[in-house]
């Protein structure tokens, strides 16, 4: 299955928050992939923050054309999701309100 990046936000030094086409969300530290002339400008935090998502390529891209394959980003983000503690999805139960009488509009009390 081919996944693509749908949203991207720069976090701190060479880390991106990403959302993918299959719904996965996670952080990707791309520091080990940022080397060579195309990635040199990404050393500047202001330039790094100019990251955008290309609908054409389905991945992140910077103004100079530097990009990283979406599959690589997906692996990095999935690894952070797998290593983070599970979210507490338990929702508190609602207390039931007494049913109102249709005639009087007052709450019925059961004996």
Q: What is the CATH number of the domain that holds 50?
A: 3.30.2020.10
Residue 66 domain flag: yes
Q: Which residues pair with 52 in a beta bridge?
A: 61
110 pLDDT tier (thresholds 50, 70, 90): low
101 pLDDT tier (thresholds 50, 70, 90): low
Q: Look at residue 106 in the predicted model and tell me its pLDDT.
A: 58
Q: How far is CA 4 from CA 13, 18, 59, 67, 89, in A?
A: 23, 10, 6, 13, 27
Query: In the chain, helix, strand, coil percent, each to 5?
Result: 25, 25, 55
Bigger pLDDT: 50 or 98? 50
Residue 75 domain flag: yes
Q: Look at residue 58 in the predicted model and tell me its pLDDT.
A: 97
Residue 76 domain flag: yes
d(CA 18, CA 14): 13
Q: Is the pTM of this model over 0.85?
A: no
Query: Tokens standing for 18?
Result: 């990403």
| Domains in the chain, number | 1
d(CA 5, CA 16): 11
> Is the predicted pLDDT of residue 93 greater than 90, yes or no?
no
Residue 100 domain flag: no
For residue 57, what are the domain limits? 5-83
């Amino acid at each position: 299955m081919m996944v693509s990046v749908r949203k991207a936000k720069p976090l701190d030094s060479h880390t991106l928050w990403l959302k993918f086409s299959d719904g996965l969300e996670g952080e990707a530290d791309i520091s080990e992939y940022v080397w060579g002339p195309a990635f040199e400008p990404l050393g500047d935090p202001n330039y790094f923050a100019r990251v955008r998502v290309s609908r054409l390529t389905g991945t992140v891209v910077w103004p100079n054309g530097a990009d990283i394959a979406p599959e690589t980003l997906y692996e990095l983000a999935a690894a952070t999701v797998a290593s983070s503690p599970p979210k507490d999805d338990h929702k508190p139960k609602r207390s039931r309100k007494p049913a109102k009488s249709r005639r009087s509009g007052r709450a019925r009390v059961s004996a």
